[in-house]
A and B are shown apart, each in its own frame.
Chain A
């Protein structure tokens, strides 16, 4: 099993969510995040004063997937989140040892 984590532009969340649902993903965790990557925030001039926006608001999305499906899920996210411009975000996968559904106690892929 894999945990797929994606950092996205906030306005792309709706598209990614819909695309994942269409792909058959039923559950996900979404949280507010901020940070920077190569985009490095940006400098703006406002009323003569220059200031930097260090941390850019992003959305963090987490999905659990079966090993066999993980690559496809990543593709779905990347396709839906892409605008082609800088700051589109990142997607990564991490191996997961165990998953338990709290209500039933089911384990492994059944719990996803």
Chain B
């Protein structure tokens, strides 16, 4: 099973055809001037699997009468038909050119044309016609090729993820490799074909073995054939074989996707011929957008910025752009040299980038796939290697374990508004099946494996416990809802016994939905979703009393002293990757919004904030990170800006609008709509407004302004950013004190939703 054997088989056919050609020539009484037999397609490349057709072209110059020509062809082919299946065409040079122009398949086959017997000059002319035409018309033919590939992928599915895939037709299969070769020949862009040479020989070996063991020329790797093929190729079992097939297909698909992206860019830039220097925009520290790709500043030393890789991945995913191939190479080279490795545990910024990446939805899939293909992810999460292309022979599943978890994360990203800890949901979704690949129950093994990972990524202990619970019990709700009597109090008790609080229950519910949706229709349906929701409702009822919203912050005695003095005080403390800012100020309407506006226009990004009013003063604590190239901040100039804003805030609004417009030119991905929830909290005599939204510049300013317009007082605010998601909890009262009425609360909620649209 090797390239050599396929070549040998091809040579053997060549010899046979040559002898037949000579016999036919003799019978026709002609010489070989202007007459030739040539191989095209895979046979043209000298690669023949046992069941492959012989694709040949018989070239002539019209020197025969119609009858004599068909007699010649019959003499040539009849003996062949007894032993081989032949796919042939009979054409002149002009006819060949016309056929190639009207039929993509013919054009592709001709790119590999090779003389078997007869007039070498004729074959060379046809070959140069084909190559010239292919190169000259690449602008039209490549989109045509792309379209035909898309149609074939639609029909044949993905080689890497199907349980019984077609190694030739499916996405990432041998036909895609041919397409890559054709793109390379066109000269439209450089195709690093060496990156898929392992994949090509692997897939060819599998196809050849399949033909041999099945005795047929079918390319679909059915369950019933997989064991025999695995055995023949020296694999331990079919799972290891299928894992290699998946790996090969993924590298092909990855390269193809990348090449299409490059070509799309070239087409937009007029094939790059008269291109001015491409425009670059800085989007984050050491990261630019250039030609619709995220590019790492090549001068950056990863050692001094180990977060750069994760930042690039998160930024690319959140903007819906790919990362340039050079940037991946830079990253992977640095990491392979041991430069830019992350400390244990990860710093907060690294964790937030990972969460932003996971939470980006659909656009995360290609970035994650690239991180896998470039072997970058294993430097961050070595645990991923054991899951890579791990097959699961389970009728419910359609994807390998790793892809299933990525799909689950995609579905989880659309459920982030339904939970109070989107970060824990996304993380658990991406790793919920980490325990698979062993005979032990994967939920129990998963609980054990997730703990060190979650700790290394830097989650605090209480979060690690929640993550462990989620992984261990990710099947609990579906199993209970379908197999136990929901009317039986013991059923509800059995959930309460392992799910400690409402936050965890919400998370587990969202995880069950994401997991089910990612599994596909065999494992999840509206019917099942209804059952699970019903169970969750009943458990929630039994849990009533536990709060999920953030509690009000405490004020320290030192802060109290300053607050009582009624002066404006700003303290700034430099922290890793940012500042901690303490502001104590006389309270006034719109204070939160003003300060948020000042911070935002100082080009600082709010990660979290705690504010509380005390008497006539407000105490605020902000954790912020500066944007790339933000000017240095001092306590004094922040204080000046805030004082200036107290007198007149109109300039802040103008600057925020200008900034929002600047951001509008940067692409974005679809995100779930914001949610505003309102509760009345008897304990604090205030109304609690909780806003859950995708984070964006000026978010807090907008929320604060909306509240102020509604003429209500903000008693305290707790702002948390988790990856790319923000949760803002506001304790508000009427200006005269006391909680809002239901009508007023709804009015505030709808105003906020309007402002956040």
Which A positions have Cβ atoms within 8 angstroms of B? 9-12, 14, 32-34, 44, 46, 53, 55, 57, 83, 85, 87
Q: Which residues of A contact B484 (CB under 8 A)?
A: 11
With A83-B485, A85-B487 given, is the CB distance from A10 to B531 under 8 Å? Answer: yes
Closest residue of chain A to B488, judged by CB? Answer: A83
B482-516: which residues lie under 8 A (CB-CB) from chain A? 482-487
Closest residue of chain B to A55, judged by CB? Answer: B530
Whether B78 sits at the interface, judged by CB under 8 Å, is no
Q: Which residues of B contact A83 (CB under 8 A)?
A: 485, 487
Closest residue of chain B to A47, judged by CB? Answer: B679
Q: What would 22 A/B residue contacts be, using CB atoms closer than 8 Å?
A: A10-B482, A10-B531, A11-B482, A11-B483, A11-B484, A11-B485, A12-B485, A14-B483, A32-B525, A32-B527, A32-B528, A33-B527, A34-B530, A44-B537, A44-B541, A53-B534, A55-B530, A57-B530, A57-B531, A83-B487, A85-B487, A87-B487
Q: Which residues of B contact A12 (CB under 8 A)?
A: 485
Closest residue of chain B to A31, judged by CB? Answer: B527
Whether B540 sits at the interface, judged by CB under 8 Å, is yes
Separation in Å of the A31 CB from the closest CB of chain B?
A: 9
B583-604: which residues lie under 8 A (CB-CB) from chain A? none
Which 6 A/B pairs are nearest by Cβ-Cβ distance? A32-B527, A57-B531, A57-B530, A11-B483, A11-B484, A57-B527
Q: Which residues of A contact B528 (CB under 8 A)?
A: 32, 57
Separation in Å of the B512 CB from the closest CB of chain A?
A: 15
Q: Which residues of A contact B530 (CB under 8 A)?
A: 34, 55, 57
A91 to B483, CA, bound (A): 20
Q: Which residues of B contact A32 (CB under 8 A)?
A: 525, 527-528
Separation in Å of the A101 CB from the closest CB of chain B?
A: 24
Not counting A32-B528, A44-B537, A46-B541, a sample of 6 additional A-B residue pairs whose C-beta atoms are within 8 angstroms of each other reads A9-B485, A10-B481, A10-B482, A57-B527, A57-B530, A87-B487
Scan B454-494; emit 1 where CB is below 8 A from any A CB, else 0.
00000000000000000000000000011111110000000
A33 to B531, CA, bound (A): 11
A44 to B527, CA, bound (A): 19
A12 to B481, CA, bound (A): 12
Q: Which residues of B contact A87 (CB under 8 A)?
A: 487
B631-663: which residues lie under 8 A (CB-CB) from chain A? none
B540 touches which one: A9, A11, A46, A53 (CB < 8 A)?
A: A46
Separation in Å of the A60 CB from the closest CB of chain B?
A: 11
Q: Which residues of A contact B482 (CB under 8 A)?
A: 10-11
A44 to B483, CA, bound (A): 22
Q: Which residues of A contact B527 (CB under 8 A)?
A: 32-34, 57
B514-553: which residues lie under 8 A (CB-CB) from chain A? 525, 527-528, 530-531, 534, 537, 540-541
A36 to B531, CA, bound (A): 14
Separation in Å of the B723 CB from the closest CB of chain A?
A: 27
Scan B555-580; emit 1 where CB is below 8 A from any A CB, else 0.
00000000000000000000000000
A46 to B541, CA, bound (A): 8
A53 to B264, CA, bound (A): 50
Closest residue of chain A to B485, judged by CB? Answer: A11
Closest residue of chain A to B534, judged by CB? Answer: A53
Q: Which residues of B contact A14 (CB under 8 A)?
A: 483
Closest residue of chain A to B525, judged by CB? Answer: A32
Interchain CB contact under 8 A, A46 and B537: yes
Separation in Å of the B637 CB from the closest CB of chain A?
A: 45
Separation in Å of the A97 CB from the closest CB of chain B?
A: 31
Q: Which residues of A contact B540 (CB under 8 A)?
A: 46
Q: Which residues of B contact A33 (CB under 8 A)?
A: 527
A9 to B531, CA, bound (A): 11
A53 to B487, CA, bound (A): 15
Q: Which residues of B contact A53 (CB under 8 A)?
A: 534
A14 to B482, CA, bound (A): 10
Closest residue of chain A to B679, judged by CB? Answer: A47
Separation in Å of the B310 CB from the closest CB of chain A?
A: 38
Q: Which residues of B contact A55 (CB under 8 A)?
A: 530
Closest residue of chain A to B486, judged by CB? Answer: A11
Q: Which residues of B contact A9 (CB under 8 A)?
A: 485
Separation in Å of the A16 CB from the closest CB of chain B?
A: 13
A14 to B483, CA, bound (A): 8
Separation in Å of the A37 CB from the closest CB of chain B?
A: 15
Separation in Å of the B650 CB from the closest CB of chain A?
A: 40
A9 to B530, CA, bound (A): 13
Q: Which residues of A contact B534 (CB under 8 A)?
A: 53, 57
Separation in Å of the B743 CB from the closest CB of chain A?
A: 14
Closest residue of chain A to B533, judged by CB? Answer: A53
A44 to B541, CA, bound (A): 10
Q: Which residues of B contact A11 (CB under 8 A)?
A: 482-486
A87 to B487, CA, bound (A): 10
Separation in Å of the B182 CB from the closest CB of chain A?
A: 46
Closest residue of chain A to B540, judged by CB? Answer: A46
A26 to B164, CA, bound (A): 29
Q: Which residues of B contact A85 (CB under 8 A)?
A: 487
A87 to B528, CA, bound (A): 18
A9 to B537, CA, bound (A): 18
Residue picked from B484, B527, B530, B534, most chain A C-beta under 10 Å: B527
A51 to B530, CA, bound (A): 14
Q: Which residues of A contact B486 (CB under 8 A)?
A: 11
A58 to B525, CA, bound (A): 13
Q: Which residues of B contact A10 (CB under 8 A)?
A: 481-483, 531
Separation in Å of the B488 CB from the closest CB of chain A?
A: 8
Separation in Å of the B103 CB from the closest CB of chain A?
A: 41
Q: Which residues of B contact A46 (CB under 8 A)?
A: 537, 540-541
A32 to B525, CA, bound (A): 9
Separation in Å of the B442 CB from the closest CB of chain A?
A: 22
Q: Which residues of A contact B481 (CB under 8 A)?
A: 10
Separation in Å of the B640 CB from the closest CB of chain A?
A: 45
Q: Which residues of A contact B537 (CB under 8 A)?
A: 44, 46
Residue picked from B484, B534, B540, most chain A C-beta under 10 Å: B534
Separation in Å of the A45 CB from the closest CB of chain B?
A: 9
